[in-house]
Amino acid sequence: MARALPFLPVTESLPALTAALANANRAILSAPPGAGKTTIVPIHLLDQTWRGDGRIILLEPRRLAARAAASRMANLLGETVGETVGYRMRLDNRISGRTRIEVVTEGVFARMILDDPELSGVAAVLFDEFHERSLDADFGLALALDTQSALRPDLRLLVMSATLDIERIAALLVDAPVIRSEGRSFPVDIRYRDRPGGERIEDAVTAAIVEAHRTESGSILAFLPGQAEIKRVAERLDGRFDQTTLITPLYGNLGQKEQDAAIRPAPEGYRKIVLATSIAETSITIDGVRVVIDSGLQRLPVFEPSTGITRLETVKVSRASADQRAGRAGRTETGLAIRLWHSGQTAALPAFTPPEILSGDLSNLVLDMAHWGVLDPASLSFIDPPPKVAWNEAKALLQLIGALDAAGAMTPSGRKIRDLGLPVRLGAMVLSASGAGAGRQAAELAVLLTEQGLGGTGIDIEERLRRFRQEGGERAASARRLAERLALSAGAGKGTESPTGAGPLLLHAYPDRIAMRRGARGRFVMANGRGAEVSETERLAGADMLVIADLTGRAAQGRVLAAAEVSRSDIECLLPEAIQRPEECFFDASSRQVRARRVTRLGAIVLDETPLARPNGPQAAEALAEGVRQLGLTCLPFSKAAEQLRQRIGFLNRTIGEPWPDMSDEALIASLDTWFTPFQHTVRSVDDVTAASLSDGLAALLPHGLQRELDRLAPTHFTAPTGQNHPIRYDGAEPVLSIRVQELFGLKSHPAIGGGKLPLVLELTSPAHRPIQTTRDLPGFWAGSWKDVRADMRGRYPKHPWPDNPADAMPTTRAKPRGT
């Protein structure tokens, strides 16, 4: 029977949607913010005959959105959450035997379908706000399409969003009908307030809020990139308004009560200012908000496969996100959106936020796909396939921790890690600790690191773990219960465990992020070679060694966000296989010499070293080549002949190409092992390198038989009509000959090389070797501007010949005889 639902813009599209899903098992719904798709569509689908008694699964990108959507739908049905409508997420569950609409987070759905590929008892899966393109959403849709094709052709799939990339989604969901809802609840006036380059975003948002509060009615929702900016704006607003204005933050680290308070309508006679991250961008309604202030910024995670580190990067929002944010102002009445950038910059914004699959950590995805039985990502239908580099790095990590075998198939340990539902590093830690009698402590640590805000936000994980164990509140209690379930699942015993520090436990999760202090207080180098920094005021800044669980920042120096202290004895006891004791030959830049040592090494960290006798031979030559890479080619004693040889070959490479080798600095540095190292087996220092060895090395770069061709195409000298040999320069785009003009008298054709095909650039000089003319046409010069040159030069150099017709004159290197 049809249900009485409020009339919202999406209501007009329901007949088309009904027809689409009656005739096909896939559909796409595009509806603007505030259209009501999140709540109206699932309830409407309850009455479709194809549903039978099957459940409808609604995917939401965030827990807050899932709880809010479930609560609103239950309210529309006159029920409480857990009856017809319920929700399921990592730390919270409101499901009963009566539940027919389950609102789940995207990660929960991925585990549901992996554990039950047939999706037993499920009639439809609705992917809400799919434009956010989380890794779990992309993976969930790929799995659902696979299930629908192979096992469940009756399963309905509906992809919904306010700002979909319709063409690409439609191409993936072949022949799926597209339904567009064009309506909007209420109009939104968009205004721009350009932010000067030097103005901090917190100051710009604060000023916009104060002005909007003074000139506009209703509550205000301000979007900021992160928690730190929210706190700074809250500090700036403190005391600006009377008690009828409530200032509430909204971000992921807040507990459920604080998040619910932020989206709850303001009491009668009050206004709210909600300071939010992009968590408030979709799927939730904050009643009473009619003004949105958009900073235009968001914080996105970017994974670096080479280091295994995910850092947060502040970037401009996409046009799709800006539209979603503006739409929050028109949910319940006519609204206003203030964008803190110039209107002309909107067109330059990216159309959509980059999908997480292109920049995220893929280790859990690779493990889950191995569980699904897929070793090649091309076997599943992804809108954007996983990048090969990140895929291979994830596969290598999983093989390192024993989760995958050499062929990429899941091992028994990998199955246990996957069943824990933790990031693979933390899953490996819990599994390893359970076997050593510390499973509960490791599980608590894993939950602490995956649930932001538990135990505070300090960087000292040991201190946070202590606080978490004593922390009150339902969220902390739920997290501790989850840790207990994880420990039991990993095989931890029920007896009392011996206390184990956070650092030793984390060694099994982040062996590549073991860090040793170097130099100044608070500065560390990690086993992966990257630098890390702890504020000097932190206790951990004085530690000798750390295990770093989280850090941010670019390049060589990251800022530590979470770490625990560890000792060398812990590492030697728990990770003996990670410590190596090789004899190394290395280049000492300060002395410009090759040296040798026996080291105790943990990745890039040298724990200690013992000097050895200075080496020679191939190892020393390789170390010397590394020194040249550090110092550059200028440290080598190239002779003039060697430099000219390099320039001649390089000239032919630039003009002819192969087989003539590239002689640029970059190319020679890259090929040191070919032309430098083989000629330095007895050399131990840069200062011992000879010019002859360099010339021999450069000549060795020439393919066999080209030496004679080199002399023909790019000779070292030009023989003048006087019989004198003059060097030819090849350091520019054209070969250049610098020569006194008198030596070319009598020459009626222009000098050339390369079998007469390549003219030389002539730098004609006076008897004093000062330039007087540059020409590529000597006969033309004789017939043309020679007259002016002669008039000028004969007065300056009267002792030298300046004939009227130099083409017929005798060449000479001498002055005129006396008396002539």
Cis peptide bond N-terminal to 798, omega within 30? no
Alpha-helical (H) ranges within 701-785 are 706-713, 778-783
SS3 content of the chain, % helix, strand, coil (to 5): 40, 20, 40
| Alpha carbons within 13 A on the beta-carbon side of 269 | 3
Stated length of the chain: 820
Residue 1 has pLDDT above 60, yes or no: no
Taking alpha carbons only, the member of 32, 695, 65, 54 closest to residue 328 is 32
The two tokens of residue 470 are: 């004593």
The mean per-residue pLDDT over the stretch 60-67 comes to 89
What are the tens digits of pLDDT across the range 294-328? 999 998 888 777 667 777 788 999 998 898 899 88
In contact, 532 and 557? CB cutoff 8 Å: yes
Can you tell me whether residue 372 is helix, strand or coil? helix
Count of beta carbons in the 10 Å neighbourhood of residue 738: 16
Percent of the chain with pLDDT over 90: 51
Residue 658 has pLDDT above 60, yes or no: yes
The upper half-sphere exposure of residue 677, i.e. CA atoms within 13 Å in the direction of its Cβ, equals 19
Q: What is the pLDDT of residues 152-194, one digit of tens each?
A: 999 999 999 877 678 888 889 988 999 998 766 688 999 999 9
User: Is pLDDT above 90 for 372?
Assistant: yes
In the CATH hierarchy, which fold is given to the domain comprising 9-180?
Rossmann fold (3.40.50)
Q: What is the model's pLDDT at position 76?
A: 93
The least confident of 82-86, 498-502, 567-571 is 498-502
- For 184-245, the DSSP string reads -SS-EEEEE-PPPTTS-HHHHHHHHHHHHHHH--SEEEEE-SSHHHHHHHHHHHTTSS-TTE
Q: Is a pLDDT exceeding 90 seen at residue 272?
A: yes
pLDDT number for residue 520:
87
pLDDT for the residue numbered 96: 95
pLDDT score of 819 more than 70: no
Helical (H) or strand (E) element with 725:
strand 725-729
The rounded distance, in Å, linking the Cα atoms of 424 and 508 is 11
pLDDT in tens, 102-124: 999 999 999 999 999 999 999 99
Answer whether 9-180 and 188-357 agree in fold. Answer: yes
Q: What are the domain boundaries of the chain? A: 9-180, 188-357, 422-579, 588-710, 717-808
Task: Give residue for tokens 């609204």.
Answer: 335
Beta bridge partners of 29: 160, 179
What is the CA angle 732-736-741, rounded to 5?
155
Write the secondary structure of 609-638 as one string of H (helix), E (strand) and C (coil).
EEEECCCCCHHHHHHHHHHHHHHCHHHCCC
Helix residue ranges, H only, 36-134: 37-45, 63-76, 106-115
Residue 7 C-alpha from the chain's centroid: 44
Q: How many CB atoms lie within 10 A of CB 344?
A: 9
730-786, pLDDT tens digit by residue?
A: 888 889 999 999 889 988 899 998 778 889 999 999 888 898 889 998 889 898 889
Mean pLDDT across 38-61? 95
Q: What average pLDDT does the segment 530-535 reach?
A: 91
CB 116 within 8 A of CB 155: no
Task: Indicate the average pLDDT of the chain.
Answer: 89
pTM value is 0.73
* Secondary structure element (H or E) that encloses residue 314, with its range: strand 309-316
Looking at residue 555, its pLDDT comes to 55
Q: Which two tokens stand for residue 166?
A: 């319709």
The tokens for 252 are 């992921």
Q: Quick one: pLDDT band at residue 554, thresholds 50, 70, 90?
A: low
Asked if pLDDT for residue 564 goes beyond 80, the answer is: yes
Whether the CB-CB separation of 194 and 264 falls below 8 Å is answered with no
d(CA 67, CA 394): 33
CA of residue 378 relative to chain centroid, distance: 22
Show the tokens assigned to 626: 């590394």
What are the pLDDT digits (tens) for 663-696? 988 999 999 999 999 998 888 888 889 999 998 8
659-669: per-residue pLDDT in tens?
Answer: 888 898 899 99
CATH of domain 188-357: 3.40.50.300
Quick check: 818 pLDDT over 60? Answer: no
Neighbours of 524 (CB within 10 A): 29
Per-residue confidence band for 2, with pLDDT thresholds at 50, 70 and 90: low
Mean local confidence (pLDDT), 642-657: 87
Token code pair at residue 185: 């609840």
State the Cα–Cα distance between residues 434 and 647, nearest whole angstrom: 66
Q: Hey, what are 512's tokens?
A: 């590549």
Mark 150-177 as b/e (b = at least 16 C-beta within 10 Å): eebeebbbbbbbbbbbeeebbebbeebb
**What pLDDT, on the 0 to 100 scale, is given for residue 452?**
81
Question: What are the residues whose beta carbons fall under 8 Å from the beta carbon of 668, sequence distance 6 or more?
Answer: 633, 646, 675
Q: How far apart are CA 254 and CA 256, in angstroms?
A: 7
> What percent of the chain lies above the pLDDT cut of 70?
98
